[in-house]
């Protein structure tokens, strides 16, 4: 194994102390002089035309400075170039309950709240669409006029010869799966502070400065420019600490633009922080998905063909939708060797908040279906579920039938390790009544090989500056959102330069200071920003080496950089023994030593000056020598994925390709209470191939966090809708698991060193999520023999499935939908539903005006 001094070591994140002391600043913690509070008026209707807005009463309220509406910034935007369908504030139409109508900037929150009640809006309520299958039948009152049948986008891909594949199969399974809608629910509600600087030359408002809870500062700068008609150079976006994203902050969220519009109109800084309910309305989470899946296998377990029809309930705007529906199809490939694939994907618009990217973007729900069906096929051909997965491994390096290049492939080891640690061979099927084990696999991209904005620009660029003080400053646009981006950057810089971590300062995610990085999404940061950091550091190191070599009278190739020393190679082994001792000293003890060291080095420096060329130099000496020699010491590195990794040429072929894929295999142990249908997850063993683990504590944290979030989607989390009303827009009713029901997760790191990853590293933050849901579903099957085809596996659904299996006295626990065979979307989406004609609608609703009240049943 390669011997590193910083890489591969479990270290605390470099910003940990700010988080554990409360000193770290998130956007809502910031204030600037004269700052106003912004609050947004939201639509109470799912689909309506705005006939008139009168803000005069609100404007007259004492303490109100400005009221902004749609025509203050009428340009459209959207995260995808093909999906510019949003207005920051509605111009003519609102498209979901919660859509943004107006914004009040006032001296405090209470005043702004009162002013919202004084804005008079006259709506013409339109028929609305809530079910994607119904929505696709629409001929009139379209959600967007340019989207016939409310179809955002559909794709139809055929790779290989699926019909021939199915003909060759000995066993074919076909079923419908439904996955409920889930959301990121990051602990920090979105927040944006926008402020205009006064231009010294014109004396008028000049540059816009925006602090925002974003995963994508560069895209935010771009969209602000678009909507506000301000050149990008006149906008500075700064990302303070971000309290979790998971995709929910990976595109431009309405408040980010609204705050700037309000600040412009109020001529004062404006901060908007969403309420938790507003976070749910902004949403952009994982869409409710309907998957019709057909898989064929031979008797030996090898997959002959897969056919998937996927429909996503995308909400009222495009968001990342086109990418989501493509990921769902593209990542059917690159996990197993599947020779024939047919994919039909439909992204449908409905009158609900837009869905977008969420951890495991696009892959999760299809993976739930696929891994469940594979389990079923294994049972039918009497093959162990772990074995059927082993029989379909890729022979990497390879290119899949749909054009995905796979270079490093740790899946076989992941499977081996999970079945070994979980005791699969001895325990599977032998855990007694109501308890079982399930296995499933998943994978994910290490960043998209093609950026969403088509261009040849690098996806990440990093600058490094070293000065005479010996401090190393790394400027990166990469966005730390809690995943460890800044720490990863510091580790790679320190390892490459052979200096201590304490020397590294990270300046990140500030568009004035840091070069462009397209953001923290699709698990791209370690691979891409990491590679850019590595390249920048290598460039600087070369400059230091050439100067140091001159001083030492050797060639640059003779030098080794390690532990704050630059040493000639023949001596490196010797000095290494000494540095190992010093490396073992914990960092908090090193402060006083550093002072001593400086004095020591100072005298050493003098001594060396006197004595001429040496066999080693301190890092600081070498840096000073390099600056003396080169004038300045800076380096730049950038990363763009290689052309070979960018995928096939078919329509939509740009989504799915990645320079490298992570792999995951998991075993879940669950028990099911057959009297109540309650499922308890006892433990999950999760092996994840992350290439090289740069920081094992962080990698394990990401694996555990992914598995845990997958468990939430599997068991407790679901956005529940009724006629466009989100029934659970809060953390009390949207049930993110608490510590009590969260299982032990045993993370197992598998390191298939990737040839192109920085130090061989790949993705570790998303790929594990998708395997958890089917692992739990398969464990439920092992425990009680019911195959759940609808997530989440709420107790009522599991009990309904158990009752159906036993032919017990039927009670209608789930609105007549069999969770093992969900033929349709439930009108109510999930755990909540209504019999008969459903709830009363608003008094102004046309459907209520048209149909006189009938006496409804009361049960």
Partner 1 sequence: MKKELIELRVNGRAYELALEPCTLLLDALRLDLQLTGSKRGCDDSSCGSCTVQVDGIPMLSCTMLAASCEGQEITTIEGVCEHGSLAAIQKAYGDWGGAQCGFCTPGFIMTVKHLLRANPDPTDAEIRGALSGNLCRCTGYNQMYQAIKAAIVAEQKGVARASSPAR
Partner 2 sequence: MSLPQFNLLRPRILEDALSLLAKHAGESPASTRVVAGGTDLIPSMRQKLFEPEYVVDVHHLAGLKEIRQTARGVEIGALASLTAIEQSALLRRRYPVLSEAAATVASPLLRNMGTIGGNICLDTRCLWYNQSPTWRKGCGFCIKKDGDLCHVAPGGTTCWAAFSGDTPPALLCLEAEVEIASASGTRRIPLSELYTGDGVAYRKLRPDELLTRVFLPESSADYRGVYRKLRVRGSIDYPLAGVAVVMKGSDGHIADARLAITAVNPAPLLVKGVSELLTGKAMDESLAAAAGDLAAKIARPLTTSALTPEYRREMIRVFAKRAVLAAAEN
Q: What is the DSSP string of 794-806?
A: -HHHHHHHHHHHH
Residue written as tokens 């992204």?
Answer: 347
SS3 for 38? strand
Residues 703-722 that bind partner 2 (CB under 8 A): 716, 720
Closest to 764 measured CA to CA, from 684, 703, 841: 703
Q: CA separation (Å) from 315 to 127, 282, 324, 734, 831?
A: 15, 11, 13, 18, 20
d(CA 385, CA 389): 7
In the complex, minimum distance from the CB of residue 77 to partner 2, in angstroms, rounded to a whole number: 24
Q: Which of 839, 847, 849, 851 binds partner 2 (CB under 8 A)?
A: 839
Q: Which of 22, 33, 675, 852 binds partner 1 (CB under 8 A)?
A: 22
In the complex, minimum distance from the CB of residue 12 to partner 1, in angstroms, rounded to a whole number: 4
Q: Which of 87, 184, 535, 826 binds partner 1 (CB under 8 A)?
A: 184
Q: Which of 31, 76, 812, 847 binds partner 2 (CB under 8 A)?
A: 812
**Per rule CB under 8 A, is residue 178 in the interface with partner 1?**
no
Contact letters (x/-) for partner 1, 798-817, by CB under 8 A? --------------------
**Per rule CB under 8 A, is residue 67 in the interface with partner 1?**
no
- Give the DSSP H or E segment for 621: helix 619-630
Pick the stretch among 203-211, 455-463, 700-708, 780-788 that binds partner 1 (CB under 8 A): 700-708
Nearer to partner 2, 187 or 585 (CB): 187
**Per rule CB under 8 A, is residue 38 in the interface with partner 2?**
no
**Per rule CB under 8 A, is residue 34 in the interface with partner 1?**
no
In the complex, minimum distance from the CB of residue 105 to partner 1, in angstroms, rounded to a whole number: 17
How many chain residues interact with partner 1 (CB under 8 A)?
62
Residues 575-594 that bind partner 1 (CB under 8 A): 586, 588-589
**Per rule CB under 8 A, is residue 19 in the interface with partner 1?**
yes
What are the φ/ψ torsions at residue 481 (nearest 5 degrees)? -125, 20
Helices (H), 97-151: 109-116, 132-135
**Per rule CB under 8 A, is residue 818 in the interface with partner 2?**
no
**Per rule CB under 8 A, is residue 12 in the interface with partner 2?**
no
Q: CA separation (Å) from 185 to 537, 664, 682, 719, 805?
A: 37, 24, 24, 11, 35
Q: Which of 814, 822, 825, 829 binds partner 2 (CB under 8 A)?
A: 814
Per-residue burial over 374-398, b = 16 or more CB atoms within 10 Å of its CB, e = otherwise: bbbbbbeeebbbbebbebbebebee
Nearer to partner 1, 426 or 588 (CB): 588
- Give the DSSP H or E segment for 220: helix 217-228
Q: Which are the contacts of 235, defined by CB distance < 8 A and separation ≥ 6?
A: 207, 208, 209, 210, 221, 224, 225, 228, 511
- Give the DSSP H or E segment for 531: helix 530-552
276, 268 contact by CB (below 8 A): no
Q: Which of 170, 413, 420, 815 binds partner 2 (CB under 8 A)?
A: 815
Q: Which of 67, 97, 106, 366 binds partner 2 (CB under 8 A)?
A: 97
Nearer to partner 1, 700 or 718 (CB): 700
Say which entry of partner 2, partner 1, none residue 44 contacts (CB below 5 to 8 A, set by partner kind): partner 2
Q: Which of 421, 473, 696, 821 binds partner 1 (CB under 8 A)?
A: 696
165, 339 contact by CB (below 8 A): yes
The structure tokens listed for 578 are 């000494």
Pick the stretch among 9-17, 388-396, 421-429, 657-665 that binds partner 1 (CB under 8 A): 9-17
What are the φ/ψ torsions at residue 324 (nearest 5 degrees)? -60, -50
Give 742: exposed, middle or buried? Use CB within 10 Å, 0-12, 13-18, 19+.
middle
Nearer to partner 2, 249 or 797 (CB): 797
Say which entry of partner 1, partner 2, none residue 796 contacts (CB below 5 to 8 A, set by partner kind): partner 2
**Per rule CB under 8 A, is residue 519 in the interface with partner 1?**
no
291, 366 contact by CB (below 8 A): yes
- The residues binding partner 1 (CB under 8 A) are 9-10, 12-13, 15-26, 28-29, 110, 184-189, 241-246, 273, 275-277, 481-484, 586, 588-589, 696-698, 700-701, 704-705, 707-709, 730-732, 736, 738-740, 742, 744-745
């Amino acid at each position: 194994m390669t011997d590193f001094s910083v890489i591969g070591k479990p270290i605390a994140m470099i910003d940990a102390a700010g988080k554990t002391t409360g000193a770290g600043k998130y956007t809502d913690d910031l204030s600037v002089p004269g700052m106003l509070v912004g609050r947004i008026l939201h639509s109470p209707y799912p689909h309506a035309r705005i006939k008139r807005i009168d803000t005069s009463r609100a404007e007259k309220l004492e303490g109100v400075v400005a009221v902004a509406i749609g025509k203050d910034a009428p340009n459209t935007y959207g995260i995808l170039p093909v999906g510019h369908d949003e207005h920051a504030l509605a111009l003519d139409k609102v498209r979901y309950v919660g859509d943004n109508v107006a914004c009040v900037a006032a001296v405090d929150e209470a005043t702004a709240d009162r002013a919202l009640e004084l804005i008079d809006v006259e709506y013409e309520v339109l028929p609305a669409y809530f079910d994607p299958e119904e929505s696709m039948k629409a001929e009139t009152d379209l959600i967007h006029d340019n989207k016939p049948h409310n179809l955002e986008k559909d794709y139809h891909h055929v790779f290989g010869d699926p019909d021939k594949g199915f003909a060759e199969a000995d066993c074919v399974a076909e079923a419908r799966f439904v996955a409920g809608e889930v959301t990121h629910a990051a602990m920090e509600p979105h927040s944006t502070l926008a402020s205009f600087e006064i231009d010294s030359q014109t004396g008028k408002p000049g540059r816009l400065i925006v602090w925002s809870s974003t995963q994508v500062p560069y895209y935010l700068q771009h969209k602000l420019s678009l909507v506000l008609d301000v050149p990008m150079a006149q906008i500075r976006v700064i990302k303070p600490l971000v309290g979790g994203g998971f995709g929910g902050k990976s595109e431009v969220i309405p408040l980010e633009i609204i705050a700037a519009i309000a600040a412009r109109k109020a001529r004062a800084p404006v901060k908007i922080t969403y309420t938790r309910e507003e976070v749910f309305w902004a949403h952009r989470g994982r869409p409710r998905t309907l998957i019709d899946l057909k898989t064929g296998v031979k008797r030996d377990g090898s997959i002959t063909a897969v056919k998937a029809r996927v429909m996503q309930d995308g909400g009222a705007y495009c968001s990342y939708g086109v990418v989501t529906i493509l990921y769902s199809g593209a990542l059917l490939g690159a996990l197993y060797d599947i020779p024939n694939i047919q994919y039909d994907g439909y992204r449908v618009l409905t009158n609900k908040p837009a869905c977008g990217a969420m951890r495991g973007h696009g892959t999760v729900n299809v993976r739930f279906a696929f891994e469940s069906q594979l389990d079923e096929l294994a049972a039918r051909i009497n093959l162990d579920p772990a074995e059927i997965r082993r029989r379909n491994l890729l022979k990497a390096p390879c290119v899949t039938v749909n054009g995905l290049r796979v270079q490093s492939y740790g899946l076989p080891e992941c499977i081996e390790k999970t079945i070994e640690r979980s005791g699969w061979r001895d325990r599977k099927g032998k855990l007694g009544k109501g308890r079982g084990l399930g296995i499933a696999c998943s994978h994910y991209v290490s960043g998209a090989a093609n950026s969403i904005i088509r261009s040849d620009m690098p996806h990440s660029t990093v600058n490094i500056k070293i000065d005479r003080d010996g401090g190393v400053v790394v400027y990166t646009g990469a966005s730390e959102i809690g995943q460890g981006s800044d720490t990863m950057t510091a580790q790679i810089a320190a390892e490459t330069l052979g200096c201590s971590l304490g020397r590294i300062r990270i300046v990140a995610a500030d568009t004035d200071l840091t070069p462009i990085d397209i953001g923290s999404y699709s698990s791209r940061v370690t691979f891409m920003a990491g590679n850019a950091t590595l390249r920048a550091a290598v460039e600087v190191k070369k400059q230091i080496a050439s100067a140091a070599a001159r001083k030492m009278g050797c060639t640059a190739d003779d030098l080794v950089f390690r532990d704050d020393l630059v040493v000639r190679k023949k001596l490196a082994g010797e000095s290494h023994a000494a540095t190992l001792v010093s490396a073992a000293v914990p960092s908090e003890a090193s402060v006083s030593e550093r002072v001593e060291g400086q004095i020591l080095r100072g005298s050493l420096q003098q001594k060396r000056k006197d004595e001429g060329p040496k066999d080693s130099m301190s890092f600081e000496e070498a840096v000073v020598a390099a600056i003396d020699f080169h004038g300045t010491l800076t380096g730049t590195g950038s990363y763009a994925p290689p052309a070979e990794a960018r995928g096939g040429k078919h329509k939509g072929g740009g989504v799915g390709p990645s320079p490298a894929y992570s792999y995951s295999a998991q075993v879940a142990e669950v028990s099911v209470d057959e009297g109540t249908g309650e499922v308890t997850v006892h433990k999950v063993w999760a092996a994840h191939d992350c290439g090289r683990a740069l920081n094992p504590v962080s990698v394990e944290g990401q694996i555990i966090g992914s598995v845990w979030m997958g468990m939430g989607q599997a068991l407790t989390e679901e956005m529940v809708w009724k006629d466009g009303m989100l029934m659970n827009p809060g953390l009390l009713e949207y049930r993110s698991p608490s510590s009590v029901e969260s299982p032990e997760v045993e993370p197992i790191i598998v390191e298939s060193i990737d040839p192109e990853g920085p130090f061989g590293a790949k993705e570790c933050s998303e790929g594990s999520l998708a395997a958890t849901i089917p692992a739990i579903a398969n464990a439920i099957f092992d425990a009680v023999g019911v195959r759940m085809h609808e997530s989440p596996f709420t107790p009522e659904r599991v009990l309904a499935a158990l009752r159906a299996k036993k032919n017990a006295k039927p009670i209608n626990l789930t609105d007549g939908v069999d969770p093992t065979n969900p033929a349709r979307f439930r009108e109510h989406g999930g755990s909540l539903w209504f019999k008969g004609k459903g709830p009363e609608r608003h008094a102004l609703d046309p459907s209520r005006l048209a149909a006189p009240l009938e006496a409804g049943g009361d049960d």
